[in-house]
Structures are given as structure tokens and as C-alpha cells.
Amino acid sequence: MDFQFWYILILLIAAYFIGTYIEKRHYKSIISRENELNTLPAVSLRKPPSGPFHQQLVLGNVTISVDYFKRFLAALHAFFGGRITSYETLLDRARREALLRLKESAREQNAALIMNVRYETASIYKGNGGNIGSVEVLAYGTALIPQRTLTQDGQLP
């Protein structure tokens, strides 16, 4: 019993420090890449502008897991109610990362605009007691690629 208590405590402390470090590093990378990709707009509009565009479906997905400490906090919150901040940041990170990957793959194809962006979220791993352990977010949309960039690069539309 005593051993088990210390084991869980050490695990919680380790998960807190490593998890916080990983999250901070991830946010840093998200923010710098978001600034870089700001010039490529992704919108949720559905009517494409008229013009010689080639359309291409682009996807971006990511699976992110929440750490043990935050799951523990979330279990406490589930008992007392209130905002579960730890899951809010998990979903925020996952959505922003998925959108970034979508934009990165669109930029590789010289897209000018991404239209009708949609998100699809699924919890794919459930831990003990049915706690959500990790979520997968898929962002998808249609990249509009100007025709002239295609011919310049020698690629066929």
C-alpha cells in the first residue's frame, strides 16, 4: 500500500514536469510555424472563386496524448465539475497542429487558398476508468492551386 502510494506520486510528479515541458515545446513550434504559414489562408467558405484553379483535396492529421498528471486532474474535475483546462489545451494543440500540417501539405503543392476546411475529432484511446487518453484530429479541405504555377513547374493539373 505504502509502496503503491509513492509509486503513483513519483509517476505524477515525473508526468507533470515532462508533460509540461513537451507541451511548452509544442506550443512554441506551433506559434512559430503559424507565423510562417500566415500567408496561406485557410477558410471555411464553400463557394470557390472563379478562375483557372486546380482543386486538390488536402489532409492533415495528428494524434496527441495527454499526460498522466493531467488525466489525474481531469478525473478530479469530473468529480467536482468545472472547466477541464488540461483537455482544452490538448484539443487546442491537436487542432492547430492538424491545420498546420494541412497548410504545409498545401504549400508543397503551391496552393493559393484552402477552402471548406473541416475538422474531424475522434478519441482513439481510452485509459483506466474510460478517461480519454488521446485524441486524433483530422483537418481537411480543398486546396486551390493556380494553373500557371502548375505549368511553370512542369506538373500536370
Partner 1 sequence: MQITNLETVPGKTIHQHLGLVQGSSVRAKHVGRDIMASLKNLFGGELKGYTELLSESREEAMERMIRQAEAVGANAILNVRFSTSSVTQGAAEIYVYGTAVILE
Residues of this chain that bind partner 1 (CB under 8 A): 11, 14-15, 18-19, 22-23, 26, 46-53, 55-57, 59, 61-68, 70, 97, 115-116, 118, 120, 122-127, 133-134, 136, 138, 140-142
CB closer to partner 1, 81 vs 99: 99
Least CB distance from residue 24 to partner 1, whole Å? 11
Tell me whether residue 81 or residue 92 sits nearer to partner 1 (CB atom).
92
Nearest residue (CB) to partner 1, 35 versus 50: 50
Beta partners for 121? 137
Measured from the CB atom, the residue of 30 and 40 that comes closer to partner 1 is 30
Contact 91, 121 (CB under 8 A): yes
| Cβ proximity to partner 1, 40 vs 133, nearer residue | 133
Sign of the torsion angle spanned by Cα atoms 62, 99, 30, 135: negative
CB of 139 to partner 1, least distance (A): 10
Least Cβ distance, residue 37 to partner 1 (angstroms): 19
DSSP 19-68: HHHHHHHHHHHHHHHHHHTTTS-B----SPPSSSEEEEEEEEEEEEE--H
Among residues 61, 53, 52, 38, the alpha carbon closest in space to that of 142 is found at 53
Q: Are 54 and 147 in contact (CB under 8 A)?
A: yes
State the nearest-atom distance from the C-beta of 5 to partner 1, in Å.
18
In 3D space, the residue among 142, 19, 32 whose CA is nearest the CA of residue 89 turns out to be 19
